[in-house]
């Protein structure tokens, strides 16, 4: 799952930085995620993400949920499992 879709699924507020110009991969975006008054700055490329301030990163929606929400693996999986399944056309 791409990072932006995971953030939407988690219901967190995020905003893309329109001034960011990627150096290595043109698909990389910089986003700012607001979490209870704190702001996390992430670089995201597909499912991979990197927190520029703490210099930590990972790949995948579960890793992202664990990192942002400060929950363990089981709690992160439950956050996504509780989401409604999209209808298949």
* Domain-wise residue ranges, the chain: 3-81
Average pLDDT over residues 51-68: 94
Query: Residue 88: pLDDT above 60?
Result: no
What count of other Cβ atoms lies within 10 Å of the Cβ of residue 37? Answer: 5
pTM of the predicted structure, to 2 decimals: 0.83
pLDDT tens, residue by residue, 2-53:
999 999 999 999 999 999 999 999 999 999 999 988 999 999 999 999 999 9
Residue 55 scores a pLDDT above 70:
yes
Rg (CA), the chain: 13
Tell me which DSSP letter residue 86 carries: P
Alpha helix locations (H) across 1-89?
A: 3-10, 61-69, 73-81
Residue pair 43/60 in contact (Cβ under 8 Å)? The answer is: no
Q: Above 90 in pLDDT, residue 80?
A: no
């Amino acid at each position: 799952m791409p990072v932006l879709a995971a953030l939407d699924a988690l219901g967190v507020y995020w905003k893309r930085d329109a001034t960011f110009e990627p150096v290595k991969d043109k698909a990389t975006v910089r986003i700012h995620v607001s979490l209870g008054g704190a702001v996390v700055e992430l670089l995201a490329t597909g499912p991979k993400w990197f927190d520029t301030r703490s210099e930590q990163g990972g790949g995948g929606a579960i890793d992202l949920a664990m990192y942002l929400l400060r929950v363990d693996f089981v709690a992160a999986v439950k956050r996504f499992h509780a989401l409604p399944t999209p209808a298949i056309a």
